[in-house]
Structure 1
Amino acid sequence: MQNITQKIAKNDRATAVAAGLIFLTESQLAERWQVSVKKLQADRGNRCGVPFVKIGRSVRYRLAEVLAFEELHMFLPTGAVH
């Protein structure tokens, strides 16, 4: 039996992302950003970085929050139009 995330993700991934239904693990985010898991852990300890969800001992990052964080921290070359 498929869970709701899988059903929505199959039909409309953009809707699932916008609804905050897709999560990344520490390892997945570290790989995406090419940083260490320890860097993400340090950021959480210092209360900086991308917002996260903690369920028990598991840490998850909403993909929508990750994308928003990346957009907010994007720097464009001088004179570029965005």
Structure 2
Amino acid sequence: MVFNLRVKGVRAIAIYAAQGDPAPAEPLIAKIVEQVGKRDNLVNNAAIALQDKTIDDPEIDNVAMDGQWAINTA
């Protein structure tokens, strides 16, 4: 099911932002306010998952796991 928000009179924007580093959050919110006028709702769905390996796999990419942790707990 596809919803056309504009037909319903809703102003909305979609922004992709990697939030593993919280520094971009303030400019991101400023961009939202600039484009939409105010922030009524903010949906944040930032998460990644590494597939096909268990946490105790000796070949696990620890740098990638650190990045996953940073993003998923931000």
What's the TM-score bracket when you normalise by the shorter of the two chains? under 0.3
TM-score with structure 2 setting the length: 0.24
When Rg is computed on C-alpha atoms for both structures, the one with the higher figure is 2
Greater helix proportion: 1
Higher RCO (CA 8 Å, separation ≥ 6 residues): 2
TM-score with structure 1 setting the length: 0.23
Greater strand proportion: 1
